[in-house]
Structure 1
């Protein structure tokens, strides 16, 4: 009996050792952070430089007089923007609006002191955006939409008589840019846009009574921006 008990104890010890060898201790899987996603709302600031080409064409009684003078302008622009993006695969689409203060001006003077001055005090836009994500944090996009601006033309006679016309115009704007997510909440961008405000017509009553002056303000702008993504 004693030998039987010893043998049984020995066999149980071997079986226990075998079962212990079969136990595998699994380490917890490492937590992999989710990739950056462009979906979400954002607000930001922007600044840049804008330059434009315009002209003054003169009419009297609806008939062109033959006078046509180029009018160039340029200056600083800066303001705020806000929008929302949706991402589907590598495609990002969204909507964005912005408002900028502008110090864009220009004009010309003829030898006789006659001329036209131009000023833009503010501009804004609301646009759609459509982009592609070639890398997780890099967005290449195009944008198009409606533009709004305050345009002021001042007609000058002999550098002594000044007559100003101030108007808020609606036009269109389109461009392209690149945006990079520095962190999960901070993105930077570089953007170019072209803006066209159609035609502007003013009938002078003081500087050149009875004469009408037509303009076609068009602008190019390069902006840099910084956004906070919610």
Structure 2
């Protein structure tokens, strides 16, 4: 019995010694997922719909729907919080053509005749500041506002009694302001997509249209609404 006990003691000692020599596996934690930062600059493109809302003195409101396509460049800075500030410049080609029937008065004779007025907006540009609030993972809700410009190409067709039909026309760039809001999603390290609405107002501006035989003057109130999606590359 003493010999058996001694053998068991030896086996137990050797087993414990081997157990003590086994290396301990370190417990590792999963790496922390870094939150997206909006700080940096970007360049991208946009595509959407534009709706004009116009008025001249000789008629009521008139409008049209068209396509808006262009590009943008800007920079953002994320504060030590979810708030983001930024600036952006953009330019778009527009396919807007609005027309309306009205009345035109000949100031020399006091005679009023029917007229057909058309305005085409083919360029829209803006420089805006942006204030956003980051939420979830890589999402940003924002509002924007700033200065805006559009090119108006106008003409008015009319005929005075006993004279041929004339079509005075002209082109000009007018300035105004814009305001809008949207949401942006950073779906990859350097890529983000957005959906936004913007309102543009260019005031009530006097115009003068001319051709070789006649001229016409008036005032145009020009407003534009856009809804677009955009894609940005961030660097």
Q: Which bin holds the TM-score, normalised by the shorter protein?
A: 0.7 to 0.9
Instruction: Return closer, same or farther for 1:126/1:204 CA change in 2, 3 Å cut-off.
Output: closer
1:33-56 deviation per Cα after TM superposition (whole angstroms, max 9, x unaligned): 422111111111101111121111
Question: After the TM superposition, which parts of structure 1 deviate over 2 Å for at least 4 consecutive aligned residues?
Answer: 16-33, 67-71, 109-113, 203-212
- Between 102-111 and 205-214, report the one with greater CA deviation: 205-214
2:67 matches 1:76:
yes
Distance in 1 between the 2:43 and 2:211 partners?
45
Number of corresponding residues: 209
Instruction: Return closer, same or farther for 1:95/1:227 CA change in 2, 3 Å cut-off.
Output: same
1:9-58 deviation per Cα after TM superposition (whole angstroms, max 9, x unaligned): x9xx99x949946974424544334221111111111011111211111x
Shift of 1:203: 3.3
Distance in 2 between the 1:198 and 1:208 partners?
29
Shift of 1:69: 3.3
TM-score normalised per structure 2: 0.78
2:125 matches 1:124:
yes
TM-score normalised per structure 1: 0.80
1:57-116 deviation per Cα after TM superposition (whole angstroms, max 9, x unaligned): 1xxxxxxxxx33333232111000111111122111101110111111111135976211
Is there any run of 5+ residues in structure 1 with no aligned partner, and where?
Answer: 1-9, 58-66
2:104 matches 1:99:
no
**Aligned residue runs from structure 1 range 13-162, under 5 A:** 17=17, 20=20, 24-57=24-57, 67-88=58-79, 89-109=81-101, 114-158=115-159, 160-162=165-167
Where 2:60 maps in the other structure, the secondary structure is: strand
Is there any run of 5+ residues in structure 2 with no aligned partner, and where?
Answer: 1-9, 104-112
